[in-house]
Structure 1
Amino acid sequence: MGASSDPARPAALPFSYPPAPPSQWPLHVLFLAVCLLAGVHWLVPVTEVQKHNFLHHLSFIPVVIAGALFGWRSAGLLSLFAIAVHSPHLWKTWQRLPVPAMDNLVEMSIFGIAGVITGFLSERERGQRHKLERTKHELERVYGELRQNVERLTQAERLSAVGQLAAGLAHEIRNPLASIAGAAGILQRGHAPVEDQHDCLEIIDKESQRLNKLLSSFLDFARPRTPRFQRTDVHAVLDSVAVLASHTAGAGGVEFRRVIPGDLPDIECDPEQLKQVLLNLFINAVQASPRGGTIEVRAALLRDRVRITVRDQGSGIPPELRSRIFDPFYTTKESGNGLGLAVAAKIVEQHGGLLVAEGGPGSGAILRLDLPLDRTRPL
């Protein structure tokens, strides 16, 4: 039976702290070098003071290397060993030239102290480096766990969204199906007058069209087609959509007021999808506006985007509902399926833009659409 791993337990780190000491053979080489230098000292005549000074300075190198590689203890030990193996030569020099001998002894002591300091600093640096490595691996482990948690949350959010879509779709389908089932039941019994049979057929036809429209809107949200980007005149698109929406606005006694500069630059977008988004925004504003109200449509060029603002004179949007109006099947109107703004938000997201709702209760709703001038740099 295999050993089970606990995902919450920290992963084993690829090193131990404090770090394992390095191989000892370089230290043996350094001791041997000190012995060789002591031997050369013994062979060189005592009167060759400059040569002895040079050899003493060479003795400093093994001590510093020992400190850097093996720490201050090894440097101190090698320094004492160097003084010991050089002591016969120092004694011989002392008998004939006591001043140079004293200088050499002091220099060797200073070199030993320098090696110990080097070793101390080297050990401290290695300790800090390994602490940083340990922290790095710990951060990598925590980052991996966070990424897994984010993936789980994303999957849970996806499943929750699917559940909400299914519940909303089931709710929207239930009423048309009930009407169709009732009309079909009347026709099936065969006792209804001709006028009632005609009404039942009209109900079935009307509700079937309603279901078809609902499913088409749902597919537009669930599987939006890939945008066909091309250079598009925003001013022309706004004009054409305003003409389409003006028929609905005129029937409701609502007036459109457009403030659109003539020098708006072209942007890369799918013109048909942009028309769909704007038509959804305009129709939503018309439905929210009171009879005789005015809908203001503004367009402006900002630093890296074109901003289109649609403002109505309706009851506005409470702050707690602003984040929900783009959810599928969410609507405060008696008619409609609540997919219009959800589809619009999905299309805007595909274009790298932003769609935001503003405006508090009593001040009218403001829907702000931002589209990037450069689609390779989404907002």
Structure 2
Amino acid sequence: MALDVKTLIFCNFLLGTFLVVLLLMYRARQRTYPGYLAWVFGTALQMLGLLSLAVREAVPLLPGVLVTNACIYFGMVLELEGALRFVRDTRASRLWYWSAIPFLLLQGWLAVGRDEVVLRSLVVAVCIAWVSFRISWVFLAGQGWTNHLYRLFAVLYVLMGAAVLVRALLWMTNPSHGLFDSPYFHTAYFSLTLVAATGGSICYILLTSQRLEQEVRTGEERFRRLVEASTMGIVFLREEAGGGLVLTGVNPAACGILHLSEDQMVGKPLREVFTGEAAGEMEAAYLNTCRTGQPLHLVGAEYRDSRVAGFFDVFAYRTGPGRVAVLFNDVSERKRLEAERLALQAREHHVSMVENQGRLVQGLAHEIRNPLFALHTNTLAAIRAAKEGKDGAPFTGFVEEQVRRLDALLRDLMELGRRPEAGEEILDLPALVRATAASVGESSLPKGRTVRMRTPEGSVRVRGDAPTLSRAFSHLLENALDFTPAGEAVEVSVSTEGDRAKVEIRDRGPGIRQDVQGSLFEPFVTSRTGHTGLGLALARHYLRSHGGELSGRNREPGPGAIFTITLPLGPESPEAGAAAEPSREASG
């Protein structure tokens, strides 16, 4: 049956529109690849071009010609874009899009200036054929020699390009031939191009599905190799109708850990393979994962049966409806090494405690022995003086001084042994440091030493107990002033750093000796004669009770040392890096 040209064009339009809907429905249900949408839009534009061609008589000649040819040309270029992105993952050259300008200008000139219908048809045919052959070559050069779908796609687009080009050339060479008036010729021509275009789009869908299937197979193969190569035991389980779990697969590592072959496990109920006391709990946990999808993670779980005994890390994940994968790793050796490490740490800690206690006892004995010797000597001298009727006041005064020294030593030791009250009072840190510096500095004025303060413009507030913090700063300032030569100053700065308040005390002494840097804040560690070595230890003890920290280092360049105190900021403190006031001296 032969149809007129307009009816054939409408039939092509309807079938092409159905094809576009089919392409969009496929994309909505399946994952697609780059270029798929370009192909769909290209097909849709060509359908618009056919619609414009069918209603050409109802619109002016020039707009009709331009719209029809633009839709058809850009539709073909978009299909080329889709082919290139699908096969080669590259984009079409911009020249394909820019070449539409001279093409449309030529079509407009031929339509208005000369009304050359035959020549205009030939130009369109050449463009369509050229793009069709290019699309065909993209698929043929891709996998056309090995993949039958690629080859079929290439053949269809060669057929479509050849049909369009041959029709135009025949019309140009003999436009008055009766063939072009035959409805059978037009039916055959439009049917051929429709079959080619429809077949190409269907091939595009089939190629997309083929690639998806190939990726799935490749992913499955990679997963299988990964499972087989894994050092963790992997068991795949399926829930049966009765509610139990059956093994559907295992990897070689699982066979090695469980001392069973694959044939002895696959297809067997879980409780036949795992026969330990914990098998029931295991199955219940895996069933919960299988039904709820909640992953299971057990660390160092103990399991024992007639074949296996040890500790395992276990991971269970649902892999699909009624299916779960269980991964387990024998960590018995790791647990043993961890236990040995903890035991070694405990021994080292015990040895360290004994050494610290030894140093503490040794230091305490040293600090007590000298005053006791002095007490013994001066007490005997005072008794002798009393017997001889002489004045024993110098001896008793010295005894009193040694008793006060011992009392101070014992008080300091008691302070180290108790946890001081942190307090909840909101304190102005610069004011507290300044007051402490003034108090400590009074004894240093005769020696020509001063304390210089640098504080921020705003307040720096901390939370704590003022007397306790003042004692900490006092120990540090006394230490710095004792080491600072006459005529020099101890520099004290207060600032903020993030959410911490920072106090730095810098002296000009000889610095921290290398042999005491590691134990600087331990009790009875000192490089000065006549001192107990408890000041820095007490300072750190007080600061840590307030959430603070104390560290010391040598100045670079020297000489001198820097002691840094950090404390948590309280409310209404300035931002980090707040500007400091000009330096000012604080004596006493």
Aligned pairs (5 A) from 1:203-222: 203-222=398-417
Say if 1:234 and 1:66 are closer, same or farther in 2 by CA, change over 3 A: closer
Q: Following the alignment from structure 1 to structure 2, what is the Cα–Cα distance between the partners of residues 324 and 251?
A: 32
1:194 to 379, 390, 399: 390
Q: Following the alignment from structure 1 to structure 2, what is the Cα–Cα distance between the partners of residues 371 and 365?
A: 20
Aligned pairs (5 A) from 1:228-247: 228-247=423-442
2:351 to 156, 161, 177: 156
2:461 corresponds in structure 1 to 266
1:318 to 506, 513, 518: 513
Say if 1:170 and 1:67 are closer, same or farther in 2 by CA, change over 3 A: closer
1:340 corresponds in structure 2 to 535
Say if 1:72 and 1:170 are closer, same or farther in 2 by CA, change over 3 A: closer
CA shift, 1:251, in A, is 2.3
Say if 1:310 and 1:73 are closer, same or farther in 2 by CA, change over 3 A: same
1:286 corresponds in structure 2 to 481
1:68 corresponds in structure 2 to 249
1:357 corresponds in structure 2 to 552
CA deviation vs aligned residue, 1:171-226 (integer Å, no higher than 9, x gap): 0111111111111112333444533x111111111111111111111111222433
Q: Following the alignment from structure 1 to structure 2, what is the Cα–Cα distance between the partners of residues 198 and 252?
A: 30
Q: Which of the two has greater strand per residue?
A: 2
Say if 1:141 and 1:270 are closer, same or farther in 2 by CA, change over 3 A: farther
2:374 corresponds in structure 1 to 179
CA shift, 1:362, in A, is 4.3
Amino-acid identity (%): 25
2:303 corresponds in structure 1 to none
Q: Following the alignment from structure 1 to structure 2, what is the Cα–Cα distance between the partners of residues 365 and 216?
A: 28
1:367 corresponds in structure 2 to 563
CA RMSD of the aligned region, Å?
3.6
Runs of 4+ aligned residues of structure 1 deviating over 4 Å after TM superposition are: 69-78
CA deviation vs aligned residue, 1:59-78 (integer Å, no higher than 9, x gap): xxxxxx77438986489999
CA shift, 1:18, in A, is 12
Q: Following the alignment from structure 1 to structure 2, what is the Cα–Cα distance between the partners of residues 165 and 280?
A: 19
CA deviation vs aligned residue, 1:314-361 (integer Å, no higher than 9, x gap): 111134422222111111122321101111111222222221111159
Residue pair 2:444, 2:450 contacting (<8 A) in 1 also? yes
CA deviation vs aligned residue, 1:120-166 (integer Å, no higher than 9, x gap): xxxxxx99934x1x12x332333233223322322222222122111
CA shift, 1:364, in A, is 0.7
Normalising by structure 1, we get a TM-score of 0.63
Q: Look up the equivalent residue of 2:541 and give its one-letter code.
A: K
CA deviation vs aligned residue, 1:60-118 (integer Å, no higher than 9, x gap): xxxxx77438986489999xxxxxxxxxxxxxxxxxxxxxxxxxxxxxxxxxxxxxxxx
Q: Look up the equivalent residue of 1:248 and give its one-letter code.
A: S
| Alignment gaps of 5+ in structure 1 | 1-16, 30-64, 79-125
Residue pair 1:309, 1:368 contacting (<8 A) in 2 also? yes
The worse-fitting range, judged by mean Cα deviation, of 360-369 and 344-353 is 360-369
Q: Look up the equivalent residue of 1:354 and give its one-letter code.
A: E
Say if 1:192 and 1:76 are closer, same or farther in 2 by CA, change over 3 A: closer
Matched, 1:169 2:371: no
Normalising by structure 2, we get a TM-score of 0.42
Aligned pairs (5 A) from 1:11-26: none
Residue pair 1:297, 1:308 contacting (<8 A) in 2 also? yes
The worse-fitting range, judged by mean Cα deviation, of 328-337 and 165-174 is 328-337
* SS of residue paired to 2:521: coil
Q: Look up the equivalent residue of 1:202 and give its one-letter code.
A: G
Count of paired positions: 270
Residue pair 1:186, 1:192 contacting (<8 A) in 2 also? no
Q: Following the alignment from structure 1 to structure 2, what is the Cα–Cα distance between the partners of residues 77 and 289?
A: 84
Residue pair 1:249, 1:255 contacting (<8 A) in 2 also? yes
Report which structure shows greater RCO (CA 8 Å, sep ≥6).
1
Say if 1:66 and 1:329 are closer, same or farther in 2 by CA, change over 3 A: closer
Matched, 1:303 2:484: no
* SS of residue paired to 2:551: strand
Q: Following the alignment from structure 1 to structure 2, what is the Cα–Cα distance between the partners of residues 139 and 147?
A: 12
| Alignment gaps of 5+ in structure 2 | 1-230, 251-259, 269-323, 572-588
Q: Following the alignment from structure 2 to structure 1, what is the Cα–Cα distance between the partners of residues 438 and 247?
A: 87
Q: Following the alignment from structure 1 to structure 2, what is the Cα–Cα distance between the partners of residues 138 and 127?
A: 24
Residue pair 2:247, 2:267 contacting (<8 A) in 1 also? no
2:341 to 122, 143, 146: 146
